[in-house]
Structure 1
Amino acid sequence: MDASLTMLTPHTVPLINRERSILAFQERVLAQAKNSMLPLLERLKFIAIVSSNIDEFFEVRMANMQEQIQSGLERIENQSASEWRLSIQAYALKITQEQHQIFFNELLPELKKENIHVLSQQDWSAEQHHWLYHLFTQNMLPVFTPIALDLAHPFPHITNKSLNFIVDLKGTDAYGRNIDTAILPIPENLPHIIELPSPNGETQLTTIQAIIEAFVADIFPSLEILGLYQFRVTRNSHLYIDKEELTNLHQALRGELKQRSFGHAVRLEIECNCPSHLKALLLKEFELSSEDLYATQYHFDFSQIHNILEYVERKPHLIFTPIKRHIPKRWENRIDAFSEINAQDILLHHPYDRFLPVVDFLREASNDPTVRVIRMTVYRTGDDSELMELLVNAARQGKEVNVVVELMARFDEATNLSWASRLEDAGIKIVYGVFGYKTHAKMLLVIREEKNLKGETYLRRYAHIGTGNYHQGNARLYTDFSLLTSHKEVTASISEIFLNLSSLAKIPSLSTIWQSPFNFIDRLLEEIEFEIQEVKAGRKGYIIARMNALMEPIIITALYNASQLGVQIDLIIRGACALKPGIPGLSENIRVRSIVGRFLEHSRVYYFYHAGKEHAYLSSADWMNRNFFRRIEIAVPLYDKEIKQKVIEEGLLWCLEDQTAWCLDGTTGHYKQAYNINPETSVQYRLIQKRLS
């Protein structure tokens, strides 16, 4: 390798900042809400998705960065930490303001054309006003707890992301106290969207904010209302578990979850017409600076969009055409799951293929008297999970059932705690993996007693490996691959990983599977290096990789070096990408695409030309530091030629032909849509149509 390349190290490699790249992804999602070629109600959903993503960005990423800055971090991205923070906050505010503009100026007028109206107070008829006042006095007023701010009533605790009002008042109360400011929290158990009686058959809705603004005088009788302003605070949602003091992770996490709503504030959202003295009061109480204030001309709680959709008739032209999800014919015609998997590995591409075969596999295993052991990892599974119920059934049938539950799956901790308790009550052996290493690999192992041709009894392993989660709802919304296999080396490696997680850990002797934190990154670097050596020898070198995020400098350095030597590299990265493609002398042979569509792109697939042998892997891991060094992850090679070619075609090559994909400009760090915005030119549409043919 030339001297110029040896100077490129993970410490000096040029990168796009992670926070900036995350926000760039929100812009791509928001573009879906602007796309008039998409059904109207689906555009509304993209508005809600952006809102949820931005909330998480502040709860996690900005909270983390603010902690680092407060701890002494001085420079980020060749800027002072304060300059960087201001630029990121300005970026986030720009997205938020655009989100409100699209909703109020584009989507609400389009909803009106469909006779769907979200009415403000001045739009109510006299009959509706009377009906709402009765609703307010009977069902709302008794549960409000307004808090006047004085010496006896200090500023109340405001929970994370809750809706509240700060009220500017004038006058005295019944005790003669001068009251000038009050806080009105909105109880979460009140409906935030209310359907109004409408004589002409239109769908007419209003918000709890509009109702409160109309009848606020009843909440503060005898006081003059000078102003009423919505606000919302976002808090740090990190969970802190002290390893030195930890004795029981289950109990420690339950205690910590109760504190999540009490984390320090990181963002204050408020109406821009709120007087400066009230803004200053809120900033002081939340210990925030003026830069943490996000004021918008319009204010709407986009988390309530799903409530709007509940009242709206799902007319065909307002929603995506329901897809016909496919089941392989050989699976439908199977004698049993085990003989079918023995005959040939089975590949499922969700959501175009149903998740049902995975459920069938576990159901048959739970009822099969020859199945001895079932082992499974649980990262995200949902509150109502048929798979978890099947594990309970298996235990009741006398099977040995072991489940590795990841209690630290962000924002699913409470669900996983609940399932862990339920599974333990059923006699299932629960382990929580290795503290400090999230178990993110998606694996299901079944060990079955069978007989060979000689009639001799032996144990055979069967496995399911997925790029997604064991969440049946997500399998209808996320793009992922599932593999059902009885391949001896693959299932033996998975069995070893389970034993490694549930007993005294030793470095596994993995011959086929890559596993973090052991051999994963080394095997990945070996594959990249092989392509480099092929190009040096004058032969073809080609890499395609698809994942959710690419941030690890070690891998980015290897890809830059490979590009400089002539390896062609195509990356399909849904979200954050630190690598700068297309830079002359650095990454001119690298292209980065991002696909944003009807379904959330979630698959992790890696491809290496490997002198024509075409190595392909399904994985649970993105290429980030946490995935390589702080998580239990796997990548599984595809041995079946038919399945491998299908994954390469559907999972990679067709993505490279997606005309709606966004292409990253490494010079500016901005994304541009490749050709057009017509969803019928997307890979997702192509895959839907393939299942219909």
Structure 2
Amino acid sequence: MSQHNTSILPATVHYNDRDISWLSFNERVLLEAADKGVPLLEKIKFLSIYSSNLDEFYRVRVPALMALKKLTGKKEERHKSGYKRILHQISSTVFKQQQIFGDIFKGEILPGLASENIELVYDRPIPDEVSAEAENYFFTRILTYVKCMGLNEDTDFFTENNKLYFLVSLSDDNGHEYLHIVNIPSEEMPRFFSTKIDAKQYILFIDDIIKEHLDAVFMGYTINGAYSFKITRDAAIEFDDDYEEGLAAQMEKKIAKRDFGIATRFLYDDKMPAEYLDVLIGILKLKGANVIMGGSYHNLKDLAEIPVHKDSLEYKKWPAIPFTFQGKSLLDHVQQQDIMIHTPYESYDTVLRFFNEAAIHPEAEEVYVTVYRMAQDSRIANALISAARNGKKVTVIVELKARFDESNNIRWSKKLSDAGVTIIHSVPSLKIHAKIALVKFRKGYNVKALGLLATGNLNETTARFYTDHILLTAHEGIMTELKQVFKFLSLMKKPDDEDKYDYKHLLVAQFNLRDGFLALIDREIANAAKGLPAQIIIKLNNLEEKVLIDKLYEASAAGVKIDLIVRGICCLIPGIAGLSENVTVKRIIDRYLEHGRIFVFHNIGIKEVYLGSADWMNRNIYRRVEVCFPIYDETIKSEMLKLIEIQLETEDHKRAQQKIYELLSDKKEV
């Protein structure tokens, strides 16, 4: 491993905390719901995304911080106090964001719906106009799923992860008080009930319908109050390297236990009396959880299901741009010319056709693919099954540890294996995050290869709203190295003679990715030292890894102009005098999720452009297999530079995606 001098850095270099930085990203998602230029139903979707993101944060990141705080010993008290400080800052930040959420919902969403003659009944009694219909819905639909549990010191009750409950206070005729837990079945049935009377639509939370009919559940008792709450649990899954069973079997057992993890967040109705709160914390063993006061409704990710459908309240549709070419075979076309597809602006059908043609092409003999997150009903997976049944040798490297997609990946692994596909799983300590595919052809004695290299998953569902870039190429140097990557993935270990894996085109994590990027930055530093133009443009989802951040600090201090587009976590702090004053950081939140990773190095005007799967995080650099790839086709390179230029130069970030769509549409027309 080569050494890179960072001695010019000050003794103390400051970094943003990764979790606080992520919360600031999620707040930007939240604030999209307050943007006057965002249509009403899109505002509601942003609130839903914010809520869903936050749930995952409390399932993944907060448990990690809690564990670190717990594991830190007396000799490391400074670190323990640091984790306490971060956890406190998280709670404080989230509380403020929840207030913003409530203000947006009450000040923007409810009035906006009302202006469309839609009443979303929120935190008030059910209107008389719909009470009879709501009552019938309760007795015929909701009551099927309602369960009750009395609370006392001997109660042994486990609240399921992120499910909704009421704590109900009752009293009998003698004045004795009782506490019960009642579930809100939002996963068993739709969260909202909708009906139309004359020209007005009424929408009710099922929470309110249950609350209003609790006297039917507890006949003979007086209902004193009902207070909603939910508990979020740790979603981490740990693996044993020497586990006797296969990874898939180990995974299935651990997934079954995931929702029984420790409680990390206890979110409760702000109207809940303090004495009831103490009872719940004690009986449900929640003393270690973050106790957070909220409103009457939780799991507002369900807002994505709100039963309102009006084109005028959504973004204007941008039909995906089709790729057209001369001839009948896409694979033949790729052998002659590289193709770049920019999703979701351009149609994903080109990628689907790549796999479909490979499944039937008479000269295609072998197909290799990495899978991280597949669509539930993946047409790519079905094309691979067809290829195997058509006599092709098909090898699929499936990453079973893709968080929250484990079950789907296991299901597809079994289905592919049953069809004759060779399935390879990663080892417990290493994730396969590369987005690559390879097709080998034989024509007489000649073997040729075509490759697919992408910034995002081979998933036609997420391709509809993730901005990604997919290269189809026959470049011989890249194909040679892509074969090496798949050989490594098939062995799941580095060879004794690493010279066999000499990457000159690709940057591959576990081999040369980090040092390759460091060398590219060093070249810009050297150019700046000679008084030559020097610039770096990097677009990422997350920027955390400190060796690479320090190198960017060094480059900035040397006079290299650095433009960063970072969607989520950004631990680099721009604008520090003498350190990062030449760095700008931009974030783009819009209708599509910015997901592509792009790296541009000025190289004295002969610009080098790389794309790939790797964010600059510790996990990507050190614990995953990632592939970044160069763009050699001058037309495609020019196009990529234009796209990144639009995103950097458009002051109103909400216009950047529209300009990109217009640019690509014009290209199609030409």
Tell me the TM-score normalised to structure 1 length.
0.91
Question: Relative to 1, partners in 2 of residues 1:293 and 1:382: Cα closer, same or farther, differing over 3 Å?
Answer: same
Question: Relative to 1, partners in 2 of residues 1:192 and 1:338: Cα closer, same or farther, differing over 3 Å?
Answer: closer
Structure 2 letter corresponding to 1:484: L
- CA apart distance, 1:285: 3.8
> Cα deviation per residue 1:425-456 (whole Å; 9 max; x = unaligned)?
11110001233111000001100112xxxxx5
For residues 310-459 of structure 1, the aligned pairs below 5 Å read: 311-315=307-311, 317-330=312-325, 333-450=326-443, 456-459=444-447
Question: Relative to 1, partners in 2 of residues 1:188 and 1:194: Cα closer, same or farther, differing over 3 Å?
Answer: closer
CA contact (8 A) 2:270 2:294 kept: yes
- SS of the residue 1:164 aligns to: strand
Structure 2 letter corresponding to 1:683: A
> Cα deviation per residue 1:390-436 (whole Å; 9 max; x = unaligned)?
01111111110000000000111111111111111111100012331
Question: Relative to 1, partners in 2 of residues 1:217 and 1:392: Cα closer, same or farther, differing over 3 Å?
Answer: same
* Counterpart residue number, 1:233: 231
**More displaced 10-residue stretch of structure 1: 139-148 or 15-24:** 139-148
1:497 matches 2:452: no
- SS of the residue 1:6 aligns to: coil
Tell me the TM-score normalised to structure 2 length.
0.94
| Structure 1 CA distance for aligned equivalents of residues 65 and 78 of structure 2 | 10
> Cα deviation per residue 1:467-503 (whole Å; 9 max; x = unaligned)?
0111111111011101000001101111111111112
- CA apart distance, 1:581: 0.7
- SS of the residue 2:563 aligns to: strand
**More displaced 10-residue stretch of structure 1: 201-210 or 81-90:** 81-90
CA contact (8 A) 1:348 1:482 kept: yes
- CA apart distance, 1:290: 8.6
For residues 112-151 of structure 1, the aligned pairs below 5 Å read: 112-120=114-122, 124-126=126-128, 128-150=130-152
**Which consecutive residues of structure 1, in runs of 5 or more, have no partner in the other structure?**
451-455, 662-678
Question: Relative to 1, partners in 2 of residues 1:504 and 1:587: Cα closer, same or farther, differing over 3 Å?
Answer: closer
Question: Relative to 1, partners in 2 of residues 1:61 and 1:424: Cα closer, same or farther, differing over 3 Å?
Answer: same
1:58 matches 2:31: no
- CA apart distance, 1:134: 2.1
- CA apart distance, 1:313: 2.5
Structure 2 letter corresponding to 1:498: F
| Structure 2 CA distance for aligned equivalents of residues 177 and 449 of structure 1 | 86
- SS of the residue 1:245 aligns to: coil
**Which consecutive residues of structure 2, in runs of 5 or more, have no partner in the other structure?**
none
CA contact (8 A) 1:571 1:593 kept: yes
| Structure 2 CA distance for aligned equivalents of residues 97 and 435 of structure 1 | 41
Identical positions, percent: 31
Structure 2 letter corresponding to 1:279: L
* Counterpart residue number, 1:168: 169
* Counterpart residue number, 1:668: none
* Counterpart residue number, 1:676: none
* Counterpart residue number, 1:691: 664
* Counterpart residue number, 1:671: none
**More displaced 10-residue stretch of structure 1: 460-469 or 132-141:** 132-141
Residue 619 (structure 2) aligned to one of 618, 621, 626: 626
- SS of the residue 1:494 aligns to: helix
Question: Relative to 1, partners in 2 of residues 1:77 and 1:245: Cα closer, same or farther, differing over 3 Å?
Answer: closer
1:656 matches 2:657: no
CA contact (8 A) 1:556 1:579 kept: yes
1:31 matches 2:31: yes
| Structure 2 CA distance for aligned equivalents of residues 497 and 177 of structure 1 | 73
Question: Relative to 1, partners in 2 of residues 1:84 and 1:158: Cα closer, same or farther, differing over 3 Å?
Answer: same
Structure 2 letter corresponding to 1:243: D
- CA apart distance, 1:613: 1.9
> Cα deviation per residue 1:11-50 (whole Å; 9 max; x = unaligned)?
9431000011000001111111000111110011000000
| Structure 2 CA distance for aligned equivalents of residues 606 and 129 of structure 1 | 58
| Structure 1 CA distance for aligned equivalents of residues 124 and 18 of structure 2 | 44
**More displaced 10-residue stretch of structure 1: 535-544 or 522-531:** 535-544
**More displaced 10-residue stretch of structure 1: 403-412 or 186-195:** 186-195
- SS of the residue 2:195 aligns to: coil
> Cα deviation per residue 1:82-128 (whole Å; 9 max; x = unaligned)?
23321221001111221122112221111110112212585645452
- SS of the residue 1:295 aligns to: strand
| Structure 2 CA distance for aligned equivalents of residues 84 and 197 of structure 1 | 46
- SS of the residue 2:61 aligns to: helix
Structure 2 letter corresponding to 1:62: V
Structure 1 letter corresponding to 2:664: R
For residues 592-631 of structure 1, the aligned pairs below 5 Å read: 592-631=585-624
Structure 2 letter corresponding to 1:467: T
- CA apart distance, 1:646: 1.0
Question: Relative to 1, partners in 2 of residues 1:337 and 1:92: Cα closer, same or farther, differing over 3 Å?
Answer: same
| Structure 1 CA distance for aligned equivalents of residues 593 and 210 of structure 2 | 37
Residue 450 (structure 2) aligned to one of 456, 462, 468: 462
- CA apart distance, 1:688: 1.8
> Cα deviation per residue 1:507-528 (whole Å; 9 max; x = unaligned)?
4222211100111001110001
CA contact (8 A) 1:191 1:208 kept: no
- SS of the residue 2:242 aligns to: helix
CA contact (8 A) 1:20 1:88 kept: yes
For residues 42-53 of structure 1, the aligned pairs below 5 Å read: 42-53=42-53
* Counterpart residue number, 1:94: 96
Question: Relative to 1, partners in 2 of residues 1:478 and 1:504: Cα closer, same or farther, differing over 3 Å?
Answer: closer
**More displaced 10-residue stretch of structure 1: 457-466 or 193-202:** 193-202
CA contact (8 A) 1:75 1:81 kept: no
* Counterpart residue number, 1:664: none
| Structure 2 CA distance for aligned equivalents of residues 565 and 504 of structure 1 | 40
- CA apart distance, 1:247: 2.5
1:207 matches 2:205: yes
Structure 1 letter corresponding to 2:17: N
Question: Relative to 1, partners in 2 of residues 1:76 and 1:37: Cα closer, same or farther, differing over 3 Å?
Answer: farther
- SS of the residue 1:180 aligns to: strand
Residue 551 (structure 1) aligned to one of 536, 544, 550: 544
Structure 1 letter corresponding to 2:640: V
Question: Relative to 1, partners in 2 of residues 1:288 and 1:437: Cα closer, same or farther, differing over 3 Å?
Answer: same
**More displaced 10-residue stretch of structure 1: 592-601 or 194-203:** 194-203
- CA apart distance, 1:305: 1.2
| Structure 2 CA distance for aligned equivalents of residues 459 and 557 of structure 1 | 44
CA contact (8 A) 1:434 1:501 kept: no
CA contact (8 A) 2:510 2:625 kept: yes
* Counterpart residue number, 1:157: 158
* Counterpart residue number, 1:245: 243
| Structure 2 CA distance for aligned equivalents of residues 50 and 135 of structure 1 | 30
For residues 157-306 of structure 1, the aligned pairs below 5 Å read: 157-171=158-172, 180-289=178-287, 292-306=290-304
- CA apart distance, 1:249: 0.4
Question: Relative to 1, partners in 2 of residues 1:7 and 1:543: Cα closer, same or farther, differing over 3 Å?
Answer: closer
| Structure 2 CA distance for aligned equivalents of residues 250 and 446 of structure 1 | 26
- SS of the residue 1:244 aligns to: coil
| Structure 2 CA distance for aligned equivalents of residues 486 and 471 of structure 1 | 22
| Structure 1 CA distance for aligned equivalents of residues 125 and 286 of structure 2 | 37
- CA apart distance, 1:590: 0.8
Question: Relative to 1, partners in 2 of residues 1:504 and 1:84: Cα closer, same or farther, differing over 3 Å?
Answer: closer
| Structure 1 CA distance for aligned equivalents of residues 547 and 88 of structure 2 | 29
CA contact (8 A) 2:230 2:298 kept: no
| Structure 1 CA distance for aligned equivalents of residues 573 and 123 of structure 2 | 50
Aligned CA RMSD, in angstroms, stands at 2.1
